[in-house]
Amino acid sequence: MARIVITSDLHLGITSAAMLRTLVSAIAVEEPALTVLAGDLGEGLPRIVECLKLFAPLPGEVAVLAGNHDVWARDNSSSQELWERRLPEAVQAAGMLWLEDTVWQRDGVAVAGSLAWYDYSAADPAFLSSSPQFFAERKGYYNLDARYIDWPWSDQEFAARLGEGLCERLQGLEADPSVRSVLVVSHVPLFEAQMCRKPHDSHWGLSNAYFGNLTLGQQVLKMSKVRAVVSGHTHVGREGQVKRPGFPEGHALAVSVLGSEYHAPVYSVIERTALVGMGKERSVPVKDDISCQRCGANWSKGQFSEGCQQCGGGALERTCPVCNGRCGTKWLRAVMDSWDFDEAHWAGQCSLAPLRDRTGQQMGHYRLDFLMELGGVADRYLGSDVSSQRPVTVLSLSGQTDEAGLFRFQRNLPLIKRLVHPHIAPLLDAGVENMIPFVVLDRLLTIRQSHQFPLPISTVVRYVSQLADAFDYAHSQGVWHTYTTPETILFRPPEALLGGFSLRLLEITQNPQGSNNRWEPPVPLTYLPPEQVWGLPMDASIDQYALAAVVYEWLCGVPPFHGAEPFKGATQIIQEPPPSLREKAPMLPPTLESVIAKALAKRPAERFTTIRVFIDALVEASKNTLDGSAMPPKEVTDEGPDA
């Protein structure tokens, strides 16, 4: 057995156990002396343990590293507890090597490894002059680690800690005369040759800050016995050579990234007797039939790009999220952090962005630092106050308006400014720059960015009670929200805030001659009531319907109408009843489902008289389940939806 096999990014729970058994069988044929599992083993500790059991029968020894997903705070375990105790114990209990604090050696060859946390050094060059605070503040918009990792260390502190440990182990191997060559395995890539660069794609460029640790790579490069480095994490296969300053010609370091895809894991085989170059990467065939881990529907391999036809889960491509599909380009799933379509990271380039992106420009007293979204009505930027450097969110009209539009903006602006309430996100400022109206808000994460759906019933009740107060107040001021979604509900711990009033303000400011004749709402159709989709007269009950659609999603993880094309979605909203909530979350009480169904009634007259009456009924129906016992489990199961 003269071979070393490395595999990574297995994600049991998103990838099926059957697929990983196929991978194990393929690796066993190689008869490896060592198999290295290089992180992201499973979705939650029970799945990690199950993954270890799948690989236990392999010939030879098995060594294990953690990935960033493996330290997400789930299963009542903190990230620190997982990292310091529960993961090492699980690995040792499986009879495997915890490669984070030991090395493997045999016949002059050694393997050392580390999770190798990112330290922002891999960001695209345009961002490298930015401060660590800049990357830390923006992390929640690009990486779900910001939501699920709760240890006390900063990214740079943890990266330095892991780097010191790896270098100490490598220095020990350098001093060991019995060791001739060393293979380094890391979860996070260490070298520029391992990174995936996409020029002119600022979203991907900033995301790269959380994809690599080039600082540690420079330290590894100094170790004379290291012959190769294999990494994972990005899911984008890479292979290259890194020149070693001060070393003779022909002593370049071979580096690669395993390009495991979901449902198609790969592994690399390296001949231990001649540890030079990279082993051939080998893939495992994808099964023809796939069961959606989100809603349970069956779909075929031929539909894999589009994902589940019922809920959109697992899709590998989507219309451009920057402009909501107006540019016609397709984006590809970059890292499948979740089976959920909305939570996944996507990579692509909006063809409209170069024409409309105002990043680096100034609107009033605010600099536009980063484009987050190009909308049909408004463009959203991360910005900062040029005098105080206070981070803010800037919403600007998607294009110039006319004098009539400016009049409507100035006339209606006081309506929004006077909405001062503890549970309404305040409007900080507003203005006009080059005939483009804009508004300025606090930079806060949305409920979707800061939480994992479904939510416990107790959390849902607490948030909707706070929002009911906000809606009551706004309605008493003669203002309807109009566009309530998980993206317009913000989170300022421990409270939910109603945001998004500015969307309606900017919508009525548009120049009708400057836009197409087709009405395009600034939020997904799935949260809009039939009368709004149909263009019929509306009243305050549109906010009740939208909030009910949001609550529906909070309770089961999926909104009432999801994953359909816009025209089909509009038809469903107008004609079809919402799918049964208890079919998706069977532990919920029937009374709770009835309350939400009434608020989602097609006809406004059939809904509750006010949003307050709706919330009171929701609270009453939830009384027996406020301990959260009626909630479905958060972990991915073979039978249930992805949490």
Residue 223 lies in a domain: yes
pLDDT band with cut points at 50, 70 and 90 for residue 637: very low
Query: In angstroms, rounded to a whole number, what is the distance separating the alpha carbons of residues 123 and 145?
Result: 16
Residue 511's pLDDT is 65
483, 538 contact by CB (below 8 A) = no
Q: Do 583 and 626 reside in the same domain of the chain?
A: yes
* pLDDT at position 403 over 70: yes
Q: Looking at mean pLDDT, say which of 1-15, 80-94, 260-274, 380-394 comes out highest.
A: 80-94
Computed over every residue of the chain, the mean pLDDT equals 81
Residue 366 lies in a domain: no
pLDDT band with cut points at 50, 70 and 90 for residue 405: confident
Q: Do 157 and 203 reside in the same domain of the chain?
A: yes
pLDDT tens sequence across 243-302: 888 777 767 899 999 988 766 788 888 875 545 444 455 554 444 344 555 555 554 444
Q: Do 543 and 633 reside in the same domain of the chain?
A: yes
* pLDDT at position 41 over 50: yes
Neighbours of 21 (CB within 10 A): 13
* Total count of residues recorded for the chain: 643
447 or 634, which is more confident: 447
Choose the final residue of a domain: 264, 283, 302.
283
Q: Do 277 and 298 reside in the same domain of the chain?
A: no
Q: Do 307 and 184 reside in the same domain of the chain?
A: no
Q: Which segment of 37-51, 119-133, 466-480, 587-601 scores lowest on mean pLDDT? A: 119-133
410, 398 contact by CB (below 8 A) = no
Percent composition of the chain: helix, strand, coil (DSSP 3-state, to 5):
35, 20, 45
* pLDDT at position 128 over 80: no
pLDDT tens sequence across 318-351: 666 666 566 666 665 544 444 444 445 555 666 6
Provide mean pLDDT across the span 502-516: 70
Residue 66's pLDDT is 96
* pLDDT at position 146 over 90: no
Query: In angstroms, rounded to a whole number, what is the distance separating the alpha carbons of residues 368 and 374?
Result: 13
CATH number of domain containing 467: 1.10.510.10
**CA-closest candidate to residue 440, choices 372, 368, 357, 353:** 368
The phi and psi torsions of 617 (rounded to 5 degrees) equal -65, -40
Residue 15 has what DSSP assignment? Answer: B
CATH number of domain containing 153: 3.60.21.10
Six token digits for residue 279: 């082993």
Domain hosting residue 333, numbered range: 288-348
Query: In angstroms, rounded to a whole number, what is the distance separating the alpha carbons of residues 30 and 20?
Result: 16
Residue 128 lies in a domain: yes
Total domain count for the chain?
A: 3
SS3 category, 362? strand
* pLDDT at position 117 over 80: yes
Residue 292's pLDDT is 53
Q: Do 137 and 252 reside in the same domain of the chain?
A: yes
**CA-closest candidate to residue 216, choices 257, 182, 165, 253:** 165
**CA-closest candidate to residue 395, choices 513, 499, 247:** 499
Residue 159's pLDDT is 96
SS (H, E, C) 269-301: EEEHHHCCCCCEEEECCCCCEEECCCCCCEEEH
Choose the final residue of a domain: 348, 378, 399.
348
pLDDT band with cut points at 50, 70 and 90 for residue 517: very low
Provide mean pLDDT across the span 420-445: 92
Residue 375's pLDDT is 73
Residue 583's pLDDT is 87
Q: Do 106 and 177 reside in the same domain of the chain?
A: yes
594, 586 contact by CB (below 8 A) = no
Q: Do 570 and 588 reside in the same domain of the chain?
A: yes
Choose the final residue of a domain: 348, 363, 387.
348
Share of residues in the chain with pLDDT > 70 (%): 78
Q: Which helix (H) or strand (E) holds 368?
A: strand 366-374
* pLDDT at position 153 over 70: yes
* pLDDT at position 64 over 80: yes
Query: In angstroms, rounded to a whole number, what is the distance separating the alpha carbons of residues 115 and 235?
Result: 15
Share of residues in the chain with pLDDT > 90 (%): 44
Residue 495 lies in a domain: no
Residue 518's pLDDT is 47
Q: Do 608 and 630 reside in the same domain of the chain?
A: yes
Cis? peptide before 494, omega within 30° of 0: yes
Residue 236 lies in a domain: yes
Alpha helical stretches, state H, 378-435: 403-417
Provide mean pLDDT across the span 27-50: 92
Provide mean pLDDT across the span 387-404: 89
pLDDT tens sequence across 551-587: 999 998 888 886 545 556 667 787 788 888 988 888 8
Residue 365 lies in a domain: no
Q: Do 332 and 240 reside in the same domain of the chain?
A: no
Q: Do 297 and 184 reside in the same domain of the chain?
A: no
pLDDT tens sequence across 188-237: 999 999 998 876 666 677 788 999 999 999 999 999 999 999 999 988 88
Provide mean pLDDT across the span 593-612: 94
Residue 343's pLDDT is 46
Q: Do 629 and 577 reside in the same domain of the chain?
A: yes
Residue 201's pLDDT is 63
Annotate 368-403 with b (16+ C-beta within 10 A) or e (fewer).
bbbbbbbbbbbbbbbbbbeeeeebbbbbbbbebbee
Residue 229 lies in a domain: yes
Residue 426 lies in a domain: no
pLDDT band with cut points at 50, 70 and 90 for residue 127: confident
Residue 626's pLDDT is 53
Give the CA dihedral 477, 483, 485, 487, nearest 10 degrees: -90
